[in-house]
Amino acid sequence: MSLQFKLSDKSTRFTESVIRGMTQLCLRHNAINLSQGTPAYQPPDVVKAAAVKAIQEGYNQYSITWGAPEFREAIAHKMTTFNCIPTDAAKNVTVTCGSTEGMLSALLAIINPGDEVIIFEPFYENYGPDTIISGAKPVYVALQETQTADGVMRFTYDTSELQNAFSANTKAIIVNTPNNPLGKVFTQDELQQIADLCCEHDCIAVTDEIYEHMIYDDKAHISIGSLSQMRDRTVTVSGLSKTYSMTGWRLGYVVAPEVLTDAIRKMHDFLTVGAPHPLQRAGVVALNLPPSYYQELVDKYNKNRKRLVNTLREAGFRCHPPEAAYYIMTDISDFGFSDDTAFANWLVKEIGVGGVPGSSFYSRPHLGKTKFRFMFSMADDVLVEAGERLMKIKSKI
Ligand code: PLP
């Protein structure tokens, strides 16, 4: 006799990650997987050695639930100097199991039933489930490709659409800069406008800045929490996964005003107790790497960015070089497929390359039907091989 359990309503309101599904498909067909955003690189040796040393020296039990003191100090220093947000390690920092848990703990700490959260779309796929789990009502604002006065194509929002998204029920707006999947860097003007709306409607900006160190062409990363009127109403979420190529270490953090931090720490404690203690010790070494580390990181990614943009254009995709992160959002209209999912399946099976159907980044899937995302955190030889395969598209359609 099979047991029949009624699952929670929440668990039935979102599906498994589309990106993980694409990864499985790539494995089945031996395709090059340019869908999942896992770094191709390794953490620096000195950081790995610090983790081994911490384990050998006995840092193998829980740390303080909201983070080992020396790791919080290193985060506070980085936030104060790099992000220009004055941060007190004792009052403002919560170390979490990746920024993924940081975002959820933050939302659980501030959301009440009926609260609305504004989300720009296309969005990082976790934000949808995050709002369902925390009980927020998502309100979406589209980021659309627009030509600027100097002829450059950029993704931005329509100001009146953003203004209209705010209501008496708005509790927070999620700002992901640099953005996944678009590689967009929010400008000072955009952040100022969002800040003004947050103040006018008395709501909180929850920002995800995990790609803050991967920005190209001399663009600058600005944290909305550094704008003076946002000090008391910003929750900044970030982590070490991408900058130090350590997605498996699960080190993230949330920086927020003291009153919000108290609530976030409670959520975090009962969700996960704490991030891995010995890895937090090694995280201190990572956060103290010299400026040359960050320059080399950007140079490495920039080389990949240029290579893949050129390859994709030659293969028939329409795309612009992203401003940041390691994703390229392309337009696939010229290939004549009925939709992006059909294209995704065909590309894996016939060409041997995987990417992500654009519609999976939208609450309104039709907005992404002609879009397709590739990632470029890959070893040189893999990108070359992917390029050779993609060049066969034209002859096969
Ligand atoms: N935020 C964004 C925008 C991401 O793209 C990702 C991973 O792809 C994450 C958060 C996850 O970060 P973490 O490993 O710190 O949980």
Distance 266 CA to ligand 1 centre (A): 22
- What integer is the mean pLDDT of 315-329? 96
Total number of domains constituting the chain: 2
Distance 211 CA to ligand 1 centre (A): 8
Q: How confident is the model at residue 1 (pLDDT cuts 50, 70, 90)?
A: low
Q: What is the pLDDT of residues 94-112, one digit of tens each?
A: 999 999 999 999 999 999 9
pLDDT at 317: 96
- pLDDT of residue 302 exceeding 60, the answer is yes
CATH of the domain at 301: 3.90.1150.10
- What integer is the mean pLDDT of 255-277? 98
Pocket of ligand 1 contains residue 105 by CB under 6 Å: no
pLDDT at 4: 82
Q: What is the pLDDT of residues 138-164, one digit of tens each?
A: 999 999 998 887 777 889 999 999 999
Q: How confident is the model at residue 218 (pLDDT cuts 50, 70, 90)?
A: confident
Q: Indicate if 202 and 73 belong to the same structural domain.
A: yes
Q: Indicate if 201 and 325 belong to the same structural domain.
A: no
Q: Indicate if 37 and 186 belong to the same structural domain.
A: no
Which among 315, 349, 346 is positioned nearest to 357, based on CA atoms?
346
Q: How confident is the model at residue 351 (pLDDT cuts 50, 70, 90)?
A: very high
Distance 239 CA to ligand 1 centre (A): 8
CATH of the domain at 99: 3.40.640.10
Distances (CA, A) of 212 to 179, 207, 241, 243: 9, 11, 12, 8
Please count the CA atoms within 13 angstroms of the CA of 156 that sit on its side-chain side. Answer: 17
Q: What is the pLDDT of residues 356-375, one digit of tens each?
A: 999 999 999 999 999 999 99
Q: Indicate if 160 and 71 belong to the same structural domain.
A: yes
pLDDT at 2: 66
As a whole number, the mean pLDDT across the chain is 95
Residue closest via CA to ligand 1's atom 8 equals: 37
Ligand 1 test: best mutation among 126, 177, 206, most atoms within 8 Å of CB?
A: 126
Containing structural domain, residue 170: 60-287
Q: Indicate if 32 and 112 belong to the same structural domain.
A: no
pLDDT at 149: 78
Length of the chain: 397
Q: Indicate if 69 and 113 belong to the same structural domain.
A: yes
Phi, psi of 174 (to 5 degrees): -95, 125
Cα torsion angle, 155, 104, 215, 34, sign: negative
Distances (CA, A) of 118 to 127, 131, 166: 10, 10, 8
Residue 52 lies in a domain: no
Residue closest via CA to ligand 1's atom 11 equals: 100
Ligand 1 test: best mutation among 97, 100, 182, 329, most atoms within 8 Å of CB?
A: 100
Distances (CA, A) of 90 to 2, 6, 68, 278: 51, 43, 11, 20
Residue 330 lies in a domain: yes
- pLDDT of residue 119 exceeding 80, the answer is yes
d(CA 78, CA 87): 9
Residue 216 lies in a domain: yes
Q: Indicate if 299 and 254 belong to the same structural domain.
A: no
d(CA 145, CA 213): 24
Pocket of ligand 1 contains residue 98 by CB under 6 Å: yes
Q: Indicate if 164 and 196 belong to the same structural domain.
A: yes
Q: Indicate if 213 and 339 belong to the same structural domain.
A: no
Residue 48 lies in a domain: no
d(CA 232, CA 252): 21
pLDDT at 374: 97
Q: What is the pLDDT of residues 14-66, one digit of tens each?
A: 888 899 999 999 999 999 999 988 899 999 999 999 999 999 999 999 999 99
56 class by beta-carbon count within 10 Å (0-12 exposed, 13-18 middle, 19+ buried): exposed
Pocket of ligand 1 contains residue 208 by CB under 6 Å: yes
Pocket of ligand 1 contains residue 247 by CB under 6 Å: yes
